[in-house]
Amino acid sequence: MNKIYLRTDLVKQISVHQAAGECVIFTNGCFDLLHIGHTRYLQEAKRLGDRLVVGINSDDSVRQLAKGTNRPIVPAEQRAEVLAALACVNYVTIFDEPDPLALIQALKPNILVKGGDWAMDRIVGKEFVEAQGGSVRSIPLIPDISTTKIVEKILAQHSLKSPL
């Protein structure tokens, strides 16, 4: 089964799962250079319900987030395919907006999940999900693990300056 969906098709798929009583979890991020912090986070998110949907920022959206002029490193279509290969991920979709609010409103997930680096009052979509009767959860991050730190380590080991 292909796990990568356009938003309109994903909305239809998710509504079928919810009509069957399944709990849909949503999370989002850039997921550039997938690492153990990402995989542990996604596995923990999946444990919260039945279907895990991952929204990933498009390449233009990543550039809008001030991640650095050379980010993303991996194009969105490849990041989506890598995430879709994970057993814990049921669906992946790419969004162009700077934040996932429109996607969250379209999908109406039962649970919205973000990493522990996000304060609860800053989680985009929190009010919407809670108003729909859903919940918002925070999953602690693994200290000192990030794409930026990986890139910095590679550059340092090769005596280059970080472009990030």
All structural domains of the chain with their residue ranges = 7-157
Give yes or no for a contact between 56 and 18, defined as CB atoms under 8 angstroms apart. no
Q: According to the model, what pLDDT value does residue 85 have?
A: 97
Task: Choose the weakest-confidence range: 12-16, 62-66, 68-72, 75-79.
Answer: 68-72
How large is the average pLDDT for residues 133-138? 97
pTM: 0.90
How large is the average pLDDT for residues 113-128? 93
What confidence tier does 48 reach under pLDDT thresholds 50, 70, 90?
very high
Q: Which numeric CATH code is attached to 7-157?
A: 3.40.50.620
Q: Tens digit of pLDDT for each residue in 19-35?
A: 999 999 999 999 988 99
Give yes or no for a contact between 72 and 33, defined as CB atoms under 8 angstroms apart. no
What confidence tier does 144 reach under pLDDT thresholds 50, 70, 90?
confident
Q: Give me the phi and psi of 110, to 5 degrees please.
A: -75, -35
Residue ranges in the chain assigned as alpha helix (H): 7-19, 36-46, 59-64, 76-84, 101-107, 126-131, 147-157
Q: According to the model, what pLDDT value does residue 38 have?
A: 93
Task: Give the contacts of 104 (CB within 8 A, at least 6 positions apart).
Answer: 26, 55, 112, 124, 125, 128, 129
